[in-house]
């Protein structure tokens, strides 16, 4: 056996679970919740194993490096995967009881792609992992409900097609850019660009940057985000809105800070324009929305802007705070979408009017939604407050004063629309008075998100330190 296969233990385990789920469905189809719970528990086992498996090292030729950076991302993606599975169990078991295994298997394949992505240091591996992550998402997006309201499968197909077309075109953009980069530099190593690259290499890298910009949903490449969030199945949107975004940001960090740091004067202005435009467009377009998922789509665009701002600080601290920001965003956004899903499952869709009076009917759900919204808005003392504060501090220290002022001003606008949603759940009267029915798995997922958001708000230090250690894998020094 090769001496480096143990580096991929966790990824292989995830793929093995995916194959197990597929085989189970093929030979002994189970209609209940057994497949979902087994997947969630096995993934939980992989997550626990990540604390005991000490597989740090480098694959020959430096194609794949497993260090603290990769370990941090593996745990983050696994956590998002576990919560994504938990949140889908009840929905799948009631809506598509005969087509459950494919959903979990596709989600797990995507998860494996993300986990590998963080360690890739070679363009070929990076692009392949990126596609492994993206392809299952296109399919899952159109995972139509068979017995929902008549419009839902149509919307899901449209959402899937829109995500696919933008995603495929951005892959084309990335690959053509890479053809120029690899052709000019003569190496497929991510760090092979070096100082003073040829003009054609710079053009190629800007293509690559635009391609990845599509995937993280930064303005001006954000058109698909609100449409896809509105049309795709909500439990899946919860996963789509966090894990691939985190993976895309990790890729940007590997490519820009890790591989191309020598010529930051070329890409830094581009990155800062993307960050500023995302903050402005995301926050302003979220204001008039009446559909909760569209509102969260634009809010997600705005949050990506904040994360890119910290990335633009180009320091180890800035990168660490990008990671911290993304990690808190993962738990917060998963939680918001799960609560909205619980409220919408009752029938009536995802309009903001639908959640009016939610906290009177189900105080726990309403309270959880309030905490998540406060975290997205950045109110002390929940996780999102520290995330925004640290991001702005790092960007300020890096001299990005103008963008920090802009970001703070826009965060106040963000406060307005997040609290409008929260207000309607507490103050407005809904048309129903009975508690919202929720499944056990969905409640468990919301509870876990809530624990993390509140816990990280009260005690952010462990995650900050972990993020700092992880960032050292990409940016050395201070």
Partner 1 sequence: MTVPSSHLLILAAILFSIGVAGFFLRRNVIVVLMCIELMLNAANLSFLAASRMHSLDTPGGRIDLQGPIFAIFVIVVAAVEAAVGLALVIALYRRKQTVSLDDVVDLKD
Quote the least distance from Cβ 128 to partner 1, whole Å.
6
Q: How many residues bind partner 1 (CB under 8 A)?
A: 45
Applying CB under 8 A, among 158, 284, 396, 419 the residue interacting with partner 1 is: 158
Quote the least distance from Cβ 308 to partner 1, whole Å.
25
Examine residue 477 and tell whether it contacts partner 1 (CB under 8 A): no
Examine residue 93 and tell whether it contacts partner 1 (CB under 8 A): no
Candidate segments 41-49, 162-170, 235-243, 419-427, binder of partner 1 by CB under 8 A? 162-170
Candidate segments 97-105, 152-160, 321-329, 365-373, binder of partner 1 by CB under 8 A? 152-160
Quote the least distance from Cβ 390 to partner 1, whole Å.
33
Site residues for partner 1, 178-217, by CB under 8 A, read 178-180, 182-184, 186-188
Q: Which is nearer to partner 1, 171 or 359 (CB)?
A: 171
Quote the least distance from Cβ 190 to partner 1, whole Å.
13
Applying CB under 8 A, among 15, 135, 369, 377 the residue interacting with partner 1 is: 135
73 closest CA partner among 250, 270, 282? 250
Q: Which is nearer to partner 1, 105 or 358 (CB)?
A: 105
> In the Cβ-directed half-sphere of 152, how many Cα atoms lie within 13 Å?
17
Quote the least distance from Cβ 417 to partner 1, whole Å.
14
Applying CB under 8 A, among 16, 30, 175, 198 the residue interacting with partner 1 is: 175
Q: Which is nearer to partner 1, 68 or 131 (CB)?
A: 131
Q: Which is nearer to partner 1, 22 or 53 (CB)?
A: 22
402 class by beta-carbon count within 10 Å (0-12 exposed, 13-18 middle, 19+ buried): exposed
Candidate segments 7-15, 173-181, 358-366, 418-426, binder of partner 1 by CB under 8 A? 173-181
Examine residue 283 and tell whether it contacts partner 1 (CB under 8 A): no
Distance CA(158)–CA(166), nearest Å, equals: 12
Q: Which is nearer to partner 1, 133 or 391 (CB)?
A: 133
Q: Which is nearer to partner 1, 157 or 393 (CB)?
A: 157
Quote the least distance from Cβ 151 to partner 1, whole Å.
7
Applying CB under 8 A, among 231, 235, 430, 457 the residue interacting with partner 1 is: 231
Distance CA(284)–CA(64), nearest Å, equals: 40
Distance CA(346)–CA(354), nearest Å, equals: 10
Q: Which is nearer to partner 1, 178 or 450 (CB)?
A: 178
Examine residue 284 and tell whether it contacts partner 1 (CB under 8 A): no
Cα angle at 336 between 350 and 22, to 5 degrees?
90
Examine residue 171 and tell whether it contacts partner 1 (CB under 8 A): yes
Q: Which conformational region is residue 196 in: left (phi greater than 0), alpha (psi within -120 to 50 degrees), or beta? A: left
Token pair recorded at residue 256: 């820009």
Q: Which conformational region is residue 59 in: left (phi greater than 0), alpha (psi within -120 to 50 degrees), or beta? A: beta
Quote the least distance from Cβ 169 to partner 1, whole Å.
6
Applying CB under 8 A, among 11, 25, 74, 227 the residue interacting with partner 1 is: 227
All residues at 6 or more sequence positions from 277 whose CB lies less than 8 Å from its CB, including other chains = 218, 219, 220, 305
Applying CB under 8 A, among 169, 409, 451, 458 the residue interacting with partner 1 is: 169
Applying CB under 8 A, among 172, 220, 269, 380 the residue interacting with partner 1 is: 172
Q: Which is nearer to partner 1, 91 or 164 (CB)?
A: 164
Applying CB under 8 A, among 12, 53, 161, 454 the residue interacting with partner 1 is: 161
Q: Which whole-number Å values give the CA distances from 194 to 191, 255, 430, in the listed order?
A: 7, 12, 60
Site residues for partner 1, 105-134, by CB under 8 A, read 123-124, 127-128, 131
Q: Which whole-number Å values give the CA distances from 346 to 287, 340, 434, 464, in the listed order?
A: 26, 10, 11, 39
Applying CB under 8 A, among 108, 159, 249, 336 the residue interacting with partner 1 is: 159
Residues that bind partner 1 (CB under 8 A): 123-124, 127-128, 131, 135, 138-139, 142, 144, 151, 153-155, 157-162, 164-165, 168-169, 171-173, 175-176, 178-180, 182-184, 186-188, 226-227, 230-231, 288-289, 294
């Amino acid at each position: 056996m090769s001496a480096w296969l143990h580096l991929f233990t966790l990824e292989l385990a995830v793929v093995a679970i995916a194959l197990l789920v597929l085989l189970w469905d093929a030979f002994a189809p189970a209609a209940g919740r057994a497949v979902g719970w087994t997947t969630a528990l096995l993934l939980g086992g992989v997550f626990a194993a990540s604390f005991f498996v000490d597989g740090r090292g480098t694959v020959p030729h430096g194609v794949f490096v497993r260090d603290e950076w990769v370990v941090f991302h593996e745990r983050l993606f696994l956590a998002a995967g576990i919560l994504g599975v938990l949140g889908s169990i009840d929905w799948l078991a009631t809506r598509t009881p005969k087509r459950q295994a494919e959903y979990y298997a596709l989600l797990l394949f995507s998860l494996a792609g993300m986990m590998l992505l963080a360690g890739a240091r070679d363009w070929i591996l990076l692009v392949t992992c990126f596609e492994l992550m993206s392809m299952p998402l296109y399919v899952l997006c159109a995972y139509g409900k068979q017995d929902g309201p008549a419009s839902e499968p149509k919307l899901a197909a449209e959402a899937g097609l829109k995500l696919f077309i933008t995603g495929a075109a951005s892959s084309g953009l990335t690959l053509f850019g890479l053809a120029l980069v690899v052709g000019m530099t003569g190496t497929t190593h991510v760090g092979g660009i070096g100082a003073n690259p040829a003009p054609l290499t710079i053009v190629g890298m800007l293509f690559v940057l635009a391609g990845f910009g599509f995937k993280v949903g930064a303005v001006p490449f954000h058109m698909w985000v609100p449409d896809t969030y509105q049309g795709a199945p909500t439990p899946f949107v919860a996963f789509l809105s966090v894990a691939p975004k985190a993976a895309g940001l990790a890729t940007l960090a590997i490519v820009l800070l890790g591989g191309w740091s020598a010529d930051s004067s070329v890409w830094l202005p581009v990155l800062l324009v993307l960050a500023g435009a995302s903050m402005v467009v995301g926050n302003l377009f979220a204001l008039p929305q009446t559909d909760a998922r569209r509102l969260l789509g634009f809010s997600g665009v705005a949050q990506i802007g904040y994360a890119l701002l910290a990335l633009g600080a180009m320091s180890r601290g800035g990168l660490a705070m990008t990671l911290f920001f993304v990690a808190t965003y993962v738990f917060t956004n998963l939680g918001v979408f799960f609560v909205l899903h619980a409220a919408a499952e009752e029938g009536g869709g995802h309009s903001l009017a639908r959640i009016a009076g939610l906290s009177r009917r189900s105080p726990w759900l309403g309270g959880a939604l309030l905490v998540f919204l406060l975290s997205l808005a950045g109110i002390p003392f929940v996780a999102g407050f520290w995330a925004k504060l640290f991001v702005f501090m790092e960007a300020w220290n890096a001299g990005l004063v103008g963008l920090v002022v802009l970001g703070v001003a826009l965060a106040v606008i963000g406060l307005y629309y997040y609290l409008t949603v929260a207000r309607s759940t507490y103050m407005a009267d809904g048309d129903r008075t009975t508690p919202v029915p929720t499944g056990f798995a969905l409640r468990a997922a919301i509870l876990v998100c809530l624990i993390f958001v509140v816990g990280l708000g009260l005690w952010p230090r462990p995650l900050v330190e972990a993020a700092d250690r992880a960032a050292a894998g990409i940016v050395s020094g201070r």
